[in-house]
Every structure is written in C-alpha cells, then in structure tokens.
Amino acid sequence: MHLHILGICGTFMGGIAAIARAAGHRVTGSDHNIYPPMSTQLESLGIVITQGFEASQLDPAPDVVVVGNVMSRGHPVIEALLERGLPYKSGPEWLAREVLRDRWVLAVAGTHGKTTTSSMLAWILEYAGLSPGFLIGGVPLDFGVSARLGEAPFFVIEADEYDTAFFDKRAKFVHYRPRTAILNNLEYDHADIYPDVESIERQFHHLVRTVPASGLIVHHADDPHLSRALSMGCWSACEGFARGGGSSGGTALWSAHSTDEGRQDGSCFEVLFQGVPVGRVRWGLIGGHNVDNALAAIAAARHAGVPPEVACGALGEFRGIKRRMEVRGVVGGVTIYDDFAHHPTAIATTIEGLRRRLGAEGASGARIFAVLEPRSNTMRLGVHRHTLAGSLSAADETWLYAPPDLGWDAAPVIAALGGRGRLAQDIGDLTQGLVRAVRPGDHVLIMSNGGFGGLHQRLLDALTAREADHGL
C-alpha cells in the first residue's frame, strides 16, 4: 500500500512514516519545514519528501493520504484531495486501526514530560527484553529513532491532547485506547484550540473513559487539575505518584527520596512503593521533574510485568533524549545546551535542574544564559507573557528572541528581569551578542520547540572562530 503523509516532518507524523515503512508499506510525504533530526531519520528509511503542499504530489494517486494536524483547508493539496474524493485518514486514526488495535498500549499524557517519560518507559521495557513498539515525540538516545513497530504486545505512545486533524477536532489521545495510561500533569496550554484549563480537563477525562476496568491509570497525586479530571468518573485502578509522597491531599503510592543529602539535583534517589523501598536510581538526568517522570514510568512498567528493581536498573543506563538538556558542544569552556522547553513551567524546571547540577558540582561562578524562542502557538499568542519572566528568573542572564512578527510586546518581560534580560530580533545579532557576553565556565541553555534558525551551530561556530582569533 502507498501512504502519502501530509506534514511528515512533525515528530508524530514522522513516527507514523517510520512505522508504516517497517510494516512494509511504500511511504512518501510532504512538509513546509524540513530539518533534522526528523528529515535525516526519514531519508535514512528511504522515504521521499516533497517540499510544500502543491496538488501535483497526489499524481499518481496514493492508496491513502494520512493528514497531519498541521494541515488546514486552503492548501492546494487538501483542496485537491477533497475534490478528487481520495481516501484519507488522520494520523491517529491510521495508527489506531493499523497498529494499535491488537497491542497493549501504554499511553503517556500530560502538559509536560511526555517525551521523557515515554522514552523512559520504552527503554525499561526494552531493558526487560520485551522489545516494545513505540512512537515518541523526540529521539531517545538509547534507540536512535523516534518510532518503531516493535514486537507484540507492548506499544508505548506519547499521547498528545492537541486536536487530531482539520476534520477531527477531538484530542489525539482518544484514538489510542490504552490499557496503561500515565497522566503526568495538567496545565493550561494549546491556547489556539482550548479556551481554558477546564476544557483540557474534560479532554483528559475523555481519555480516562477509554481505559478498561482491568487497566491502570498512573497519575500525579499532587495535581489538582488531574484530580478534577478523574473526579468526573473513573472505572479503572489508579496509582498516584509524587516524589515527596503527596502534599496536597493526594494519595501517592509511589514516592522517592534522595539517597545523597549533599546532592539534591535528582541524580540519585530511592524509589518507594507504599512507603517500602523497591529500588534505587543513579543516572545522568537532573531535576525533580525527572524524578516524577521516573516514578510514573516505573509504575506503568510494573503494570506490564516489569519488577520495580529491574526498572530502576534500566533507568540507571538511560541515556536521555535528543533536545532534552542535550549538550551540543563545549567551546572555550562555554557549554551549549539544546532543550525543547517552551512552556513557563518547563522553562523554570529546566533552569532549576541545571542550577542544582552546577551547584552540586561546585561550579561556583558558573553563569546560566537562558536563550528562548517563543515559538509554540500558545507562546506566539502571548498567553504566557505575564508568567514568562518569573520562569526565567533563576538564569543569570536571559536573551529573548522577539522577531517582528511575534505578535506581542516582549519588552515588559525583559523589564521584569531587572537588567538581566536582552531582546534580539535577528538570529545573527543574537549570536554575536552571546559571543560577546559569554566567558569560560558559562552555560548557554537554548530553548525552543523548533530549529531556532540553527542558533546552536551558529553559536558553536562563532565561539570556535573567537578561540581561533585569540590563539593568533
């Protein structure tokens, strides 16, 4: 069968392409924004990608067109698809019918941590010899790809609450019918499709409705929005987690505590189930949010038959995910990180985790430069502009990329940072400004849910050139 995928370079649709190719289908696709790592991953699979959305890409007609949620009415290829009456499906619908129907689905939902927790869970199952399939919104370093078909029965999927397609406005995750569901957290996001947090709670409740009575819902015990979603009705067993054991009236069966009082960065902790130690994790990740992610993954893996002590051993070898605090390079003593954070909570926890790590390593005088591209739809609508400065306050210096088409005035955010903020309207100016500002020992944390105009490599190249000039 020939599948043509519209919006193929998004992490989700690119994952579907990889899975369809592994299942023996011929796969082609198209997109406007084509950049690594997804473009290189697809090319390595022999998938031909067309730039743009012209109608001509439907000649000859594929057997089915899989439509990504980036597509809307008015694109020539969409209008031609409808006029010609060609078969089409959304990505979640195709995946549910062709892949997930006969699998034990472990779905990971939440405003934050979906990619990291999904990657942890897939790695735990792999470490236990279960060879799971997975579709993840990033590239786990332990696998090198964002998706694979895997072996039955287990399939791990990052379960997004964003809408499905231009013709199906339900949340993606209602298609997946999980037997094991993780609800990591819930905050207001996706302001382009949801008017308020209550509407997102309702969508999470719709996911809860699809979990069978014999299934399991693993949820953050201290999240009030999740509590409200569950209170609308729940017909499955539930296991709460919270690294502190639950502090807001929630019941946390899973908890954790640091095993090194001198190192409170989340890099070493003991896992407890019902207050009884069941394993210990020492790993390369940092941050309390990742301890929570680990607890959720361990609980879900236990439902699939993996003992907690085995899961803890797996996490000790977990290598992380591309674009999640990924070190892109060190030049002249300046460390450059790439991170996907684009919501104020994720931004704050990412900076906090790095701050704790630098403190734990005794790196006195090490400065953190937070460099942010407000690129997501919600960010570009300005929904978070009033809380953005607070999320960046732990950085020593913040550089905010505010192109002319941003849509809102970023100057008040910079003003609220009290002299520790800078605005840049051009990637070249941003690069040169950072080169002039940083010194050996500094850490530059670049945060965006897109390519950020290649800033990471531009900065590394410019710093390399600076070092070469100094060496003359």
DSSP state letter for 125: H
Which one of 26, 56, 91 terminates a domain? 91
Overall domain count for the chain: 3
**In a shared domain, residues 208 and 249:** yes
User: Tokens at residue 407, please?
Assistant: 């849509």
* pLDDT tens figures, 32-91: 977 776 788 788 889 999 999 999 999 999 999 999 999 999 999 999 999 999 999 999
* CATH code for the domain in which residue 45 is found: 3.40.50.720
Average pLDDT of the segment spanning 101-119: 95
The overall average pLDDT reported for the chain is 91
Residue 138 lies in a domain: yes
Q: Do 184 and 278 reside in the same domain of the chain?
A: yes
Do 139 and 25 sit in the same domain of this protein?
Answer: no
**Range with top average pLDDT, 151-160, 237-246, 286-295, 376-385:** 151-160
- Residue span of the structural domain in which 349 resides: 326-470
Tell me: do 341 and 252 sit in the same domain.
no
First to last CA, the chain: 60
Residues 379, 460, single domain; the answer is yes
Identify whether 459 is part of a domain. Answer: yes
Specify the range with the lowest mean pLDDT, choosing from 156-160, 290-294, 362-366.
Answer: 362-366
CATH code: domain of residue 375: 3.90.190.20
Verify that 104 and 205 share a domain, yes or no: yes
Quick one: which H or E segment has residue 302? helix 288-303
* pLDDT-based confidence at residue 354 (cuts at 50, 70, 90): confident
Q: Which of 316, 346, 371 is the last residue of a domain?
A: 316
Kindly report the CATH number assigned to the domain that includes residue 122. 3.40.1190.10
pLDDT, residue 261, reads: 56
pTM of the full predicted structure? 0.82
Shared domain for 71 and 156, answered yes or no, is no
Residue 207: closest CA among 170, 241, 238: 170
Q: How far is CA 388 from CA 75, 138, 398, 411, in A?
A: 34, 24, 11, 12
Based on the fold, state whether residues 21 and 155 are members of the same structural domain. no
User: Using one digit for the tens of pLDDT, what is the confidence trace for 293-317?
Assistant: 999 999 999 999 999 999 999 999 9
Shared domain check, 182 and 39: no
Instruction: Based on the fold, state whether residues 262 and 236 are members of the same structural domain.
Output: yes
Q: What angle do CA 151, 18, 43 make, to 5 degrees?
A: 140
- Closest C-alpha among 129, 134, 105, 130 to residue 118: 134
Residue 274 lies in a domain: yes
The amino acid occupying position 425 is: Q
